[in-house]
């Protein structure tokens, strides 16, 4: 069974940092591009970042460029999102996504990040 389990979310003050993790199982993690997508409370989906299968190529949305870093550890089957300089507008549920836009597209259940003083 394919599983993506996000962790590391929580409450953080503006300007603070947080690292999200996504533990993958049930498939060959190293064979897929992986993405982070977020959804603010009551709002729509917004793509955040992606990383290729071996971790050598990354892309970011303009809104997080320079503040967030995506990475992966293929031997540990884990995807990461390091978030620095957090702002109130970063408050959202963050989803880990396998292979977005392709046949094997699959989403985790999400991790809530709340940025507030």
Partner 1 sequence: QSALTQPASVSGSPGQSITISCTGTIDDVGNDNLVSWYQQHPGKAPKVMIYEVNKRPSGISNRFSGSKSGNTASLTISGLQAEDEADYYCCSYAISSTLIFGGGTKLTVL
Q: Name which of residues 37 to 56 contact partner 1 (CB under 8 A).
A: 37, 44-47, 50
Q: How far is the CB of 95 from partner 1 (least distance, A)?
A: 6
CB count, 10 Å around CB of 34? 24
Which residue in the set 7, 53, 59, 71 belongs to the binding site for partner 1 (CB under 8 A)? 59
Which residue in the set 62, 66, 75, 117 belongs to the binding site for partner 1 (CB under 8 A)? 62
Q: Is 105 in the site for partner 1 (CB under 8 A)?
A: yes
Instruction: Enumerate residues 6+ apart whose C-beta is below 8 A from 98.
Output: 2, 4, 24, 27, 32, 34, 35, 104, 105, 106, 107
Which residue in the set 5, 23, 61, 114 belongs to the binding site for partner 1 (CB under 8 A)? 61
Burial 80-102 (b: 16+ CB within 10 A, else e): bbebeebeeebbbbbbbbbbbee
Which residue in the set 17, 25, 109, 116 belongs to the binding site for partner 1 (CB under 8 A)? 109
**Going by DSSP bridges, is the β-strand pair 45-51/34-39 parallel, antiparallel, or unpaired?**
antiparallel
Binding residues for partner 1, rule: CB under 8 A, are 35, 37, 44-47, 50, 59-63, 95, 100-103, 105-110
């Amino acid at each position: 069974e394919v599983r993506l389990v996000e962790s590391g979310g929580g409450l953080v003050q503006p300007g603070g940092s947080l690292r999200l993790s996504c533990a993958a199982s049930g498939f060959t993690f190293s064979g897929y591009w992986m993405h982070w997508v977020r959804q603010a409370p009551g709002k729509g989906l917004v793509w955040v970042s992606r990383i290729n299968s071996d971790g050598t190529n990354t892309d970011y949305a303009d809104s997080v460029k320079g503040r967030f870093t995506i990475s992966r550890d293929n031997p540990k089957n884990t995807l990461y999102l390091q978030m620095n300089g957090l702002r109130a507008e970063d408050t959202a549920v963050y989803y880990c996504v396998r292979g977005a836009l392709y046949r094997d597209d699959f989403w985790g259940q999400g991790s809530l990040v709340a940025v507030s003083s």
